[in-house]
Each structure stands twice: as structure tokens, then as C-alpha cells.
Amino acid sequence: MKQELRVSLVQTNSGPDRNANLADATRLMEAACLADHPDLLVLPEYVDFYAGEKEGKITLAQDVPGGQAYERLAEFAARHKVWLHAGSLVERIPNEQRVYNTSVVFDRSGREVARYRKIHMFDIVAPDGTAYRESVTVKPGESVMTYDLEGFKVGGAICFDLRFYAIFEQLMQQRVDIVVLPSAFTLQTGKDHWEVLCRARAIETQTYFLAAGQTGTHLINGEKRMTYGHSLVCDPWGHVVAKASDGVGFVSARLEKSQIDRARSLIPMHDIKGIPCTR
């Protein structure tokens, strides 16, 4: 059972070309493995295909398991003997006109050990008036995900889930040590909310919080849209212990079991019984 984990978060600029996206992600993962020898690699949301056209998503969605992206990422995990929390993939749903936005986790042998389908759809109007309607093309999932990573219990969520505390309360109740959040946060909301929310979730759950994001400009339905990037790692006390620069790349950190234990001993939130609020 490990007391420490090395992790690397990969930050990409994915688009509508799946082969190019996977090639870019593979190059960055290989660089991270060479430089920092991580136990766990984390990819961002929509790492295999990031475009807004409904027809494109339906046409290019692939089976999970069995699709090209799934097989290439499983093969990478096995070849490099690394755990891979594979961001999210566009998963085909038989006889449906929507897809799932799906995280898949592979162990060091390339075997799938967990799967999570994004629950909360990004249906908002941004400050500049841009409307986002993820639910038009994506069907929400229904359950949270956890898995054991060599003695660390890990929970997962995706992007817009970050704003909904209930999902993280469920993960906290299941005593996870690490939360992983692949994302494609918009620049407009990310510059004000990204780090604040990530740090808050780390503090509330007393976990390491790993958030890997898309970065830069993407062409969505013929319009240029920007993602925020700034992939980061927060410790259980809410400190940002690693953060990526602008642009594609990766960032690495070391996670220590002792820091989780320390935060929980200082403020024993798991053992404190809440008092119902009254009006």
C-alpha cells in the first residue's frame, strides 16, 4: 500500500480531429512519463473530440469499451505501466440521438477499473451572452464513481459537476482520498471561479483535488470559444501545490497520505455531526 503517489495532469487543446487529439495527448503523456515518472496520469474533458456540432458528436461517438480512443489509451497505460484517468471520451449510446461524456480509468495493465458519466450538463448563458447547451447533445449519467489506486481511494467528477456540492458530499461520505476532475472550463467563468471552486472542494472533502483542463481556442459551431486551462493540484488544506502555465503541457505533483491524515486530524469533519439549520 503506497503512502505517496506521483501524479501528472496533462493540459491539451483538443478539436474535431480525433487522430490529432490522441497524438497530441500521447506526446504529452510520454513527456510526463519521461520527466516525472507518475503513478497516475490525468487527461482533460473531451480529450478525444472537442467540437459542438450535434451531427459530428453523434457520428464520431465511439463505443466504450471498444472504440479507437478507448483502445489507444488502454494500450498506453499498459505499455507505460501507469494508471490513466482518461479525461472524458465521447461515448456512443445505441439508438440515441445523444452521447455520454464519459471518464474511463485504466490500471497499470491497461484494464478498465472504473467509469463515470458526467451528471451535470453545462446549460448556461455566459456573461457575454453566449449560450451553452450541453444537454442537447449529451445525456447525463446517474451515479458517482470511486476506485482504489494502490491504497488511495479516488473519486471522479467532470467539469460543470464542480459547481454542485452534493456530488462531492457523496464522495466524501465514501471516504475518498483524491478527487479527479477532467474539465474544459470556459475562460469567462474560469478566470473568476476555477481556482476558488477547486480549492473549496479540496477543503470541504479534505482530499487532494486534481483538475486537468483544456486550454486555448476551440471552434464550436463555427464560433471561437476559449477554455481556461490552469490545470492544478490542491492539497487537503486547500493549498494549490502545482499549477500549469498557459498553453498545452503538463504539471506534476506528489501526493502524501500523511497530509490527508493531518488535515482530517486537525478538523475532524468526518466525525462531527451536523446540526440541522432552522429558520
Could you give the residue numbers annotated as active site?
A: 45, 118, 159
47: helix, strand or coil: coil
Cell numbers describing residue 118: 458526467
DSSP 8-state code for residue 62: B
Residue 189 CB neighbours (<10 A): 18
Cell numbers describing residue 195: 481556482
* CB-facing half-sphere around the CA of 209: CA atoms within 13 A: 31
Quick one: three-class SS letters along 104-130? EEECCCCCEEEEEECCCCCEEECCCCC
Instruction: In whole angstroms, give the CA distance from residue 171 to residue 188.
Output: 28
